[in-house]
Structure 1
Amino acid sequence: MPVTVQKQEETGVPAHAPAARCPHLGAQYNPFAGPHVDNPYAFFERLRREEPVTFSPMLGMWLVSRLDDIHRVLREPGRFSSRDMLSSGTQLTDEAKAILAEGFPLDHILLGMDPPDHTRLRRLMNRGFTAQRIASTAPLIEKHARRLVARFAHAGKADLLEELAYPLPVLVILGIMGVPDEDMWNIKRWSADWQSLTFEHVPPEKQPEMARGVLALQRYCIDLVEQRRRQPREDLTSHLLEATADGDSMSLHELVMAIGASMLSAGHESTTALMANTWKLALEHGLWQRLREDRALVPKFIEEGARWDSVQHAMIRTTVEDVELGGVLLPKGSRLLLLYRSANRDESLCPHAHKLDLDREKVPQHLTYGRGTHFCLGAPLARLQVQIATNLLLDHLEDPRLVPGQDFGTWQSIVLRQMKHLRVEWTPSPAATP
C-alpha cells in the first residue's frame, strides 16, 4: 500500500516533508562526507530493496534509487520538472544574492529547463556537437595531451589528476570555444565558483567571493560574444551566434548561459572526474597491462568503469503534480534526488551489476551521461578525450601503480563526485617521450 504524504495546505508543513509513516533510511544519508561518498553501494542496495523512495531530512529531498523509477521520472518531464536543478545547493546570503543580481539570472541553462523551452535551446546548441565536429577535435585533444604527458613521462611519478586530468579537458573546451589558453586558470576558478554555489554547501563567509567569480565568468562570456560578433572565427562561439535556417538564434542571455555555464563551466568538470576515476579503476583492478596489450578494450573499459563507479552521482527533479512513485504518494512540489550511482548497479540494468566486468558482451546503457531529453550534450567529446588520454598513458607508462596510502581527496557535490589527487609511480622507459 502506498505511503501517503499529506499536502501543505492540510498539514501546514512544506510539501517535501514526509508524513510520520515515511520510511527512515533517508535520514542516514549524507552525500557530502563519510562512507556515502567513498563507497555507498551497500547502502544503495539496501535502499533499492527496502525503501526505493525515501526522504532525506538533511537535503529536503526524496531519494530515488531504483533504475525503473528513475527511468520513469526521466521519461515524464511533464510530471517531473528540471526547473529546480540549479537551485539545490547553497542557501545564499543576502550579500551573495545582491552580487549575483548584477548579472544574468540562471535561466536558459539546459540542465534546469523543461520542454518546450529546453527543446528549442537544445536544438540550437546541438549544431555545435555533431559527430563530424566532435571527431574533428581529435588533433586538438592529442596535441594538448601529448604536451602534458611529456612533462612527466620520464619522471617515474606524477599526480595524474593535477598534471593531466585537471588541465586537459579545460584546454580542450577553451580551444573549441576559441578562448586563449592563458585564460585557463581564470576560467577554471570562476567555473568552480559557479559549480560550488549551485551544488554544494558553501559557508556564508566564502559566498561573496564566489559570487563575484560567477559574475566575472558571465562578463567574460559577454566580451567573448561581442568579439565574435565583430570578428567571427572558426570556433564554436562563432557558430553559436549564427541563426538557423528558419531565422532562430540565441539571445545574449542564452549565449552567456550556454557558453559560461554549459560549456566553459560544466564542459570540463565531469570529464576531469571521469578521466581520473577511469585510471584509478584500471590500476586498482589490475587491468593496466591487459588494456595496454589490447587497445580495442579501452573504449569498453571506459564505459564499464563509468557505469560501475559513476562520477555522476545524482540529478534533481521536482514534481509538478501529485504523483505516486515507488509506492510513495508524493505531493506537487516534492524534490527528488535521482541516485544515478545506485541505478547503475541495479540488477535490472545488467547481470551481476555489482561486478566491474571487462568481458561483458555489451556494456548496458547506463545513467552516467543521463538519459532522454537531458542526455549529456558533451558525452561524445568526453569519451573521446578519455580514450585519447588513456591510450597515451598506456603507451608511455609501462608498469604504473598507485602510491600506497595516499589520500585521493574524494569529495562530492549534490551531482558530481571527484578526486583531488591521483598519485602514481612507475619505472621510466627510454621510449617514454610522447
Structure 2
Amino acid sequence: MPVSVQKQEETGVPAHASAGRCPHLGAQYNPFTGPHAEDPHAFFEKLRKDEPVSFSPMLNMWLVSRYEDISQVLKSPAQYSNRDMLASGTHLTDEAKAILDQGFPTAHVLLGMDPPEHTRLRRLMNRGFTAQRIAGMGPFIREMATTLVDRFAQDGEADLVKQLAWPLPVHVILGVMGVPQEDVWKIKRWSSDWQQLVFEYVAPELQVEMAKGVIEFQQYCIRLIEDRKKNPQEDLTSYLVAVESDGEALTMHELVMAVGASMLSAGHESTTALMANAWKLALQHGLWQRLRDNRDLVPKFLEESSRYDSVSHAMIRTAKEDVELGGVKIPQGSRLLLLFAAGSRDESLCPHSSKLDVDREKVPQHLTYGRGTHFCLGAPLARLQFEITTNILLDRLPDPKLVPGQDFGTWQSLVLRQMKHLKVEWTPT
C-alpha cells in the first residue's frame, strides 16, 4: 500500500497535509449544524489568517477561505474541474442508488460541467436569459409579489420567509418555464429531495423516498418537454426544446437537466435565501427607513449585503493535477470547498470588510454569484426579484421590526445557507 494512501486511511488526513502548513482548523469545521451554520464568520476570519487552505477530514475536502486563492481556482478551469460539483454528499444506500439508476445521472447540469461541453450548453441557455427577456418578467414578478404581500400587509405581523421569500421565487421560475402554478408544491418537494441528496447528509432511512422524488421530478420534466415539442408556448421550456447550435439540438438528457436541475431546482432556492437574509440584515442594522427614503440604495444594499453575508456559502472544485494553493500542496483528484462567504469578507477585498456599509463608493466584486465561466446564469433574475419585492415591502411596511428572541431556523448545506423563518411585526397603515 502506498504511504500516502496508508496515512490517509489511518488518520483521515492525506499524507501531503504535512507539506507546507500543517492544517488542523479544518478538522473543527461542520457546515451542517451549530455555530458554523448559524454564523460562520468568526471561524472564517481565523481560517483566512491562520490556515487559509485547510483540510477537513469530515468532508474529505480542502477548505479555501481567501479571496485571492478562491479567485485563482475559479479563473483556472484547466487546473480545477467542476466534474464532482454534484457528487452526492450523502453515502447513498444500495436501495437509493438502485432507484436513482432508473433515471438520468447528474451529467449535463451546468454546475457540474467543464469546457467544452459546458461552453456549448451555457451558450444555448444564455440565449434564453437575454436582458430583454429578464426585463419582460418584471410585470409578472410585481403582480405575484404584490399578491403575496397583500395577504399580510394589514396583519401587522408576518413570517417573511414562509409568506414571501419562499413562495415568490418558485412561482416566478415556474412562470418562466411555463409550468402550471398549481404544481408549485410538488416542484418544491422534488427540488428539496434532489438538493439534499447532493449537498447534505441524509440519514439512510430517508434516502429511498427522496430518491423516488428525484425520479418523479425527472419524469415530470420529460412529460413537460414532450408536451412543448408538440405544443410550443412562449416560455423558456419551449425555447430550450427548439434551440439548436450548429444544427444540433439538446438531447433529452440535457433537456431534463436544464429544465429540472438547472432551472426548476436551482432557479429558486438561492433567491429565497438571498432575499430573506438581506431583509434580516436591513432590520438588524437599522437600514429600513434609510432604504425607504432613498430607493436608489436598494440595489447597492443587495450587493453589499451579499458581500457581507453570502448565502451562496461555497462551491466545489476538483484538482485536475497536482497544484499548490496558498502555500499548500494539493494532489490531483483532491476536492476543494471554495468558501465564498469567507472570501467575500476577506480584508484584502475592501476596507473594514467585516462591516456592512452601504456608503462604500463602490461595492467590491463579491463571490455570491460565482466568477468566470460559471457565473450564476440566474443572477439578473434574482436581482430583479429582490429589487421589485423589496420596494413593495418598503411601500407597505412602514416600521417593521424583528420579533424579539425568534429562532430563524438557520440551516446549511455544503453550498447554501438558508433560514426557515423571518418573523417581523409593524404598524399597519
Normalised by the length of structure 2, the TM-score is 0.97
Counterpart code for 1:18: P
1:18 counterpart (14, 24, 33)? 14
Q: How does 1:199-348 map to 2 (within 5 A)?
A: 199-244=199-244, 246-348=246-348
Query: Does residue 183 in structure 1 map to residue 183 in structure 2?
Result: yes
Secondary structure of 1:114 counterpart: coil
Q: Where has structure 1 moved over 2 Å in runs of 4 or more?
A: 7-22, 243-246
Secondary structure of 1:317 counterpart: strand
Q: For residues 187-225 of structure 1, give each alpha carbon's deviation from its aligned partner in whole angstroms, at most 9, with x where no partner exists.
A: 000000001000000000000000011111100000000
Secondary structure of 2:99 counterpart: helix
Counterpart code for 2:302: I
Contact 2:244 2:250 in 1 (8 A): no
Residue 304 of structure 1, CA deviation: 0.5
Contact 1:89 1:199 in 2 (8 A): yes
Q: How does 1:94-243 map to 2 (within 5 A)?
A: 94-243=94-243
Counterpart code for 1:72: Q
Contact 2:88 2:197 in 1 (8 A): no
Q: Structure 2 vs 1, CA of residues 54 and 146 (structure 1 numbering), >3 Å: closer, same or farther?
A: same
Residue 261 of structure 1, CA deviation: 0.3
Contact 1:124 1:249 in 2 (8 A): no
Percent identity of equivalent pairs? 70
For 1:368, the equivalent position in structure 2 comes to: 368
Contact 2:5 2:14 in 1 (8 A): no
Mapped partners of 1:8, 1:267: distance in 2: 44
Mapped partners of 1:13, 1:107: distance in 2: 33
Secondary structure of 1:295 counterpart: coil
Q: For residues 76-115 of structure 1, give each alpha carbon's deviation from its aligned partner in whole angstroms, at most 9, with x where no partner exists.
A: 1111111111014111100100111111011000111111
Residue 9 of structure 1, CA deviation: 6.8
Mapped partners of 1:342, 1:201: distance in 2: 22
Residue 248 of structure 1, CA deviation: 2.5
- Tell me the C-alpha RMSD between the 2 structures: 1.4
Residue 13 of structure 1, CA deviation: 5.2
Counterpart code for 2:14: P
Mapped partners of 1:315, 1:10: distance in 2: 26
Mapped partners of 1:159, 1:11: distance in 2: 50
Q: How does 1:378-393 map to 2 (within 5 A)?
A: 378-393=378-393
Residue 247 of structure 1, CA deviation: 1.2
Contact 2:7 2:14 in 1 (8 A): no
Q: Structure 2 vs 1, CA of residues 122 and 9 (structure 1 numbering), >3 Å: closer, same or farther?
A: farther
Counterpart code for 2:162: E
Q: For residues 326-379 of structure 1, give each alpha carbon's deviation from its aligned partner in whole angstroms, at most 9, with x where no partner exists.
A: 111111111100000100000111111111001001111110000001100000
Equivalent pairs counted in the alignment come to: 423
Residue 396 of structure 1, CA deviation: 0.3
Contact 1:78 1:320 in 2 (8 A): yes
Contact 1:8 1:14 in 2 (8 A): no
Q: For residues 54-77 of structure 1, give each alpha carbon's deviation from its aligned partner in whole angstroms, at most 9, with x where no partner exists.
A: 100111101000111111101111
Secondary structure of 2:127 counterpart: helix
Residue 45 of structure 1, CA deviation: 1.2
Q: For residues 111-145 of structure 1, give each alpha carbon's deviation from its aligned partner in whole angstroms, at most 9, with x where no partner exists.
A: 11111111111011111111111000000100100
Contact 2:124 2:245 in 1 (8 A): no
Q: Structure 2 vs 1, CA of residues 211 and 417 (structure 1 numbering), >3 Å: closer, same or farther?
A: same
Q: Structure 2 vs 1, CA of residues 164 and 255 (structure 1 numbering), >3 Å: closer, same or farther?
A: same
Counterpart code for 2:336: L
Secondary structure of 2:244 counterpart: coil
Query: Does residue 64 in structure 1 map to residue 64 in structure 2?
Result: yes
Q: Structure 2 vs 1, CA of residues 88 and 50 (structure 1 numbering), >3 Å: closer, same or farther?
A: farther
Residue 14 of structure 1, CA deviation: 5.4
Mapped partners of 2:36, 2:5: distance in 1: 32
Q: For residues 10-50 of structure 1, give each alpha carbon's deviation from its aligned partner in whole angstroms, at most 9, with x where no partner exists.
A: 54455994336332111111111111112221211111111
Mapped partners of 1:11, 1:364: distance in 2: 42
Mapped partners of 1:248, 1:409: distance in 2: 46
Q: Structure 2 vs 1, CA of residues 240 and 8 (structure 1 numbering), >3 Å: closer, same or farther?
A: farther
Mapped partners of 1:96, 1:245: distance in 2: 36
Mapped partners of 1:249, 1:130: distance in 2: 19
Contact 1:80 1:317 in 2 (8 A): yes
Counterpart code for 1:364: P
Contact 1:274 1:311 in 2 (8 A): yes
Q: Structure 2 vs 1, CA of residues 107 and 294 (structure 1 numbering), >3 Å: closer, same or farther?
A: same
Moved more, 358-367 or 241-250: 241-250
For 1:89, the equivalent position in structure 2 comes to: 89
Which ranges of structure 1 fall in alignment gaps of 5 or more residues? 1-6, 430-434
Moved more, 244-253 or 277-286: 244-253
Mapped partners of 1:209, 1:263: distance in 2: 22
